[in-house]
Amino acid sequence: MSLRFRLNLMIGLTLLAIVGAGGLLALHNARRSVEEEVGSSVRLALQLVEAELQEQGAAVDSDRWLARLARLESARHLRIQVEQEGRWQRLALASPPPAERVPAWFRWAVEPPAQGVERRVEQANGLAARILIEADPGAEMGEAWREARGFIQLMTVLATAVLALVYVTLGRAFNAVNTILDGLQHMENGDYDQRLPAFSVREFSRISDAFNHAVESLGKARAQTQRSEAENRRLTRRLLQVQEDERRAVVRELHDELGQSLSAMKALAVSLRQLSPEGKPRDIAVSLVSLCDRLFPVVRGMMQRMRPLMLEELGLKAALEDLLDGWRSRCPNIRWRLECDAVADDLPEPLQINLFRIVQEALSNAVKHADPANVRVALTVSPEQVRLTVSDDGRGYDAPNTPCGMGLSGMRERVHGLDGEFRMESEPGRGARLEALLPLAAG
C-alpha cells in the first residue's frame, strides 16, 4: 500500500473508532437519562399518592386526586391503572406519548428495567381501590433517540469533514512527493537537467533545494567525467594509431632491410656453394642457404602478425579469411567459419585494422583457453555501426566471477577507446560469445 493510502486508512479508522465511541457514550447517557427520568416519575407519582392519603385521611376522593395526577407533566412516563370493584381502568393521561418510532436496537440498548408500585386506597364511599403505577419509558426513549441520533449525525458529519480535509491536504502534500519521486527517477536515469519547483511546504521546499543542488553537482561531475572519458578515448585512439604506425614502420624495415639482407645472404651462400669444391667451405655454404630458408618464413610470420599485408592489399574480408586459413592449418580438428559482409572492405582503414586485431586476439583466446570444436566469426555492417561476433562451443567459464585476462582487457579497452560497446557472455560448459559494436565514426 502507498503511504498516502495507509495514512488515509489509519485516519479514517481512527475517526470511525471515535464515532463509534461517541455512539456508545450517547447510548450510555441515553439509557441513564431514561432510567433516571422514569424512576423520578414513578417516585413523584408515589409521593403524590402518599401525600393525598395523608391529607384526606382514611377515606379519600380518588377521582379528584387521580385527575390531578393525570394532569402532571411527568405522567407521560407512567402507566396508571385503578382497580375498583374488581375492574381495572387505565388512567387517561394529559400528555400522550410521542408518535415517533424508536428502532428496536435502540430500545433494546436503552430500555431500563421494569419499575412500578401498588397502593391500596380506602375511598369515601367505603369501597377499597388499588392503584398500580408502572414506568412507561416510551416517550423518554423517543426523546433520547432524537438526541442520540442528532449527536451521532453531528459526529458523523464532523468526522466526514475531517477525513475529507485530511484527504485533500494529504493529496496536495503527496503531489509534491510524486514530483520529488519523478525527479529522483530522472536522476537515476542520468537526466541531471531535471529541476524541482519550489513548494509551499517548508520541509518539501528544503528537499527541493537539496535535490536541485545535488543534481547540479552531479551534472557538473558527469560533464567532467564525460570530458575525461572523451580525452581517454582520444588518447586510446591516438595510442592505437601510433602503435599501428610503429608496426608498419617495423614491418617496412623487416621487409626492406632484413628481407633484402637475407636474400643477399642466400644469394652469396648459393654462389659460394657452387664455387666451392667438396669440403668444409661447401658445407658452410649449404648451412647458410638452409638457415636463410628457415628465416624467410619466420620473418614473413612476424610481418604478418605485426602488419597483415593482405589487409592493405586485398581488404578486411580477405585478411580475415587468410587469418582463419592459418588457424585451420594449425588446428585442423576445429571447424572455422567466417561470415563477413562484402562492404567490410569499404570501411575506413583504422576501423579495419582494429576489427582485425580484435578477431586476431579472440581466436587466439579461443584456441588457448576454450578447447572448442567450432568457432564462428560474423561481421555485419549497418549504416551506423559495425557488429563483430566471435563465438565458440568450448568449455566456457563463469563470466561474472572470473577475472579478465590481458587479452580480454585489451579488446575491451580497444573497443571502448573507439566509442564502442563490448559484451562478453559465457557459462561453464556452454561456450563463449564475444560481441563488439563499433560506430562507423570510429574510423
Classify burial at 161, counting beta carbons within 10 Å of its beta carbon; exposed 0-12, middle 13-18, buried 19 or more: exposed
In this predicted model, what pLDDT tens digit does every residue of 329-360 receive, in sequence order? 888 899 999 999 888 888 888 888 888 888 98
Q: Is the pLDDT of residue 307 over 70?
A: no
Top pLDDT among 375 and 93 is at 375
d(CA 340, CA 102): 94
Q: What is the pLDDT of residue 437?
A: 92
Beta strands at 128-135 and 78-84: parallel, antiparallel or unpaired: antiparallel
Top pLDDT among 249 and 35 is at 35
Confidence of residue 99 (pLDDT cuts 50, 70, 90): very low
- 276 by DSSP, 3-state: which? coil
Lowest average pLDDT, out of 45-59, 267-281, 321-335, goes to 45-59
Confidence of residue 53 (pLDDT cuts 50, 70, 90): low
Q: How much is the average pLDDT of 352-373?
A: 87
Lowest average pLDDT, out of 4-18, 57-71, 308-322, goes to 57-71
Q: Is the pLDDT of residue 370 over 90?
A: no
Q: Is the pLDDT of residue 313 over 70?
A: yes
Pick the closest to residue 242 from 353, 361, 363 (CA basis): 353
Ranges of CATH 3.30.565.10 domains, the chain? 314-442
Q: What is the pLDDT of residue 386?
A: 92
Classify burial at 400, counting beta carbons within 10 Å of its beta carbon; exposed 0-12, middle 13-18, buried 19 or more: exposed
Q: How much is the average pLDDT of 172-179?
A: 80
Lowest average pLDDT, out of 17-26, 85-94, 193-202, 373-382, goes to 85-94
- Average pLDDT taken over every residue of the chain: 78
C-alpha cell belonging to residue 428: 561453464
Top pLDDT among 325 and 127 is at 325
Q: What is the pLDDT of residue 49?
A: 67
Confidence of residue 378 (pLDDT cuts 50, 70, 90): very high
Q: How much is the average pLDDT of 6-28?
A: 86
Top pLDDT among 128 and 193 is at 193
C-alpha cell belonging to residue 12: 479514517
Top pLDDT among 356 and 93 is at 356
Strand ranges of the sheet holding 385-392, from the earlier edge strand across to the other edge: 335-340, 374-381, 385-392, 432-439, 421-426
Q: What is the pLDDT of residue 211?
A: 86
Domain with residues 314-442, CATH architecture: 2-Layer Sandwich (3.30)
Q: Is the pLDDT of residue 209 over 80?
A: yes
Pick the closest to residue 353 from 180, 213, 269, 237 (CA basis): 237
Which residue shows C-alpha cell 542520468? 190
Q: Measured in whole angstroms, how far is the alpha carbon of residue 95 from the centre of its chain?
A: 71
Classify burial at 234, counting beta carbons within 10 Å of its beta carbon; exposed 0-12, middle 13-18, buried 19 or more: exposed
Confidence of residue 7 (pLDDT cuts 50, 70, 90): confident
Top pLDDT among 8 and 262 is at 8
Top pLDDT among 75 and 23 is at 23
Q: What is the pLDDT of residue 337?
A: 92
d(CA 5, CA 29): 36
Q: How much is the average pLDDT of 38-52?
A: 72
In this predicted model, what pLDDT tens digit does every residue of 382-402 receive, in sequence order? 888 899 999 998 888 766 555
Q: What is the pLDDT of residue 403?
A: 57
Confidence of residue 1 (pLDDT cuts 50, 70, 90): low
Beta strands at 335-340 and 374-381: parallel, antiparallel or unpaired: parallel
What secondary structure does DSSP assign to 101-149, as a single string?
PPPHHHHHHHPPPP-EEEEEEEBTTS-EEEEEEEE-THHHHHHHHHHHH
H or E segment at 329? helix 316-330
Q: What is the pLDDT of residue 217?
A: 87
Q: What is the pLDDT of residue 375?
A: 92
Lowest average pLDDT, out of 68-72, 93-97, 237-241, 253-257, goes to 93-97
Q: How much is the average pLDDT of 92-104?
A: 61
Confidence of residue 151 (pLDDT cuts 50, 70, 90): confident
Q: How much is the average pLDDT of 158-168?
A: 88
Q: Measured in whole angstroms, how far is the alpha carbon of residue 259 from the centre of its chain?
A: 67
